[in-house]
């Protein structure tokens, strides 16, 4: 007679996990983040619809729009210019070593101009502005939400979706292309400075070789795709700020999530828009 025969079967099977319960727990752990992601997108869609519906109603809040244009555009210009200058200098130094190795040093101006205008300038501007403006919008609107200032604005008869959200979104859309042009300008200028410190070349000759093979479409499509970046930054920053909960901790969380999400969606949008640009502007 074996020893297992004396142990009740119920006691043996109690410690063995049930397969259906494990499967349900696994599916629940997988579905919960996905469900939260879908809910977030649904709430973002509702928020976007409320902003668009409020945008066509009077008044148009022109004074607040001008203030946001200054806040987002003028105050972001030094940081964007510095980032563009640093990227231009680094690209010039790195490209020189690579082109010299393959005997194509004369292609440096064109390579620098094309790389800055087509990709580096727009994406650097989008990420810099998403870091500065996205955090600022998320923190500002988040603090207004937790201190009930947004409720007070709504109680006074002012539509918060127009006064707070629409003006900031439009300011981001309008300022991103201009900031991108500033980043391109400073990137090309400091790229020339970095190049001429090693191998002196006149600025006129550098510009002539750099822009010799460019057309208007080379500037148009990469610059104006930053309109989409501005829409993403403004929409996500306002959305995260106006749904803040939990006091000061919630304000910090809204600012952080605004930066992270806007930067992530700017990068994803850049991938999609580059493919579309290559299709329509070959």
Q: What is the pLDDT of residues 181-213, one digit of tens each?
A: 999 999 999 999 998 888 888 888 888 888 877
To the nearest 10°, report the CA torsion of 273, 275, 281, 282. Answer: 160
To the nearest 10°, report the CA torsion of 139, 142, 147, 148. Answer: 150
Closest CA to 117 of 186, 196, 204: 186
What number of other Cβ atoms are within 10 A of residue 188's Cβ? Answer: 26
Residue 223 has pLDDT above 80, yes or no: yes
What the block records as the tokens of 47 is 């928020």
Contacts of 116 (CB under 8 A, 6+ apart): 84, 87, 88, 91, 183, 184, 187, 188, 191
Q: What is the pLDDT of residues 70-128, one digit of tens each?
A: 999 999 999 999 999 999 999 988 888 888 777 777 888 888 888 899 889 999 999 99
pTM of the model: 0.84
What the block records as the tokens of 66 is 């001008």
């Amino acid at each position: 007679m074996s020893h297992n025969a004396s142990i009740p079967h119920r006691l043996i099977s109690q410690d063995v996990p049930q397969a259906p319960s494990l499967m349900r727990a696994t599916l629940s752990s997988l579905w919960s983040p996905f469900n939260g992601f879908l809910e977030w997108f649904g709430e973002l869609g509702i928020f976007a619809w409320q902003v668009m519906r409020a945008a066509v109603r009077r008044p148009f809040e022109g004074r607040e729009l001008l203030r946001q244009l200054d806040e987002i555009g003028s105050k972001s210009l030094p940081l964007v210019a510095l980032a563009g200058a640093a990227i231009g200098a680094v690209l010039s130094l790195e490209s020189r070593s690579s082109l010299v190795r393959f005997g194509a040093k004369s292609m440096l101006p064109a390579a620098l101009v094309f790389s800055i205008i087509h990709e580096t300038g727009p994406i650097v501007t989008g990420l810099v502005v998403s870091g500065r403006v996205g955090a600022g919008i998320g923190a500002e609107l988040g603090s207004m939400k937790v201190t009930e200032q947004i409720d007070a604005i709504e109680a006074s008869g002012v539509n918060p979706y127009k006064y707070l959200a629409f003006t900031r979104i439009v300011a981001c859309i309008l300022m991103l292309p201009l900031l991108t042009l500033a980043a391109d300008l400073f990137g090309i200028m400091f790229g020339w400075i970095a190049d001429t410190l090693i191998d002196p070349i006149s600025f006129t000759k550098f510009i002539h070789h750099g822009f010799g093979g460019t057309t208007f479409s080379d500037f148009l499509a990469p610059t104006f795709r930053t309109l989409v970046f501005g829409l993403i930054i403004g929409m996500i920053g306002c959305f995260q700020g106006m749904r803040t909960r939990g006091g000061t901790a919630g304000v910090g969380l809204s600012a952080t999530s605004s930066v992270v999400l806007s930067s992530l969606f700017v990068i994803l949008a850049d991938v999609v828009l580059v493919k579309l640009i290559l299709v329509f502007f070959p």
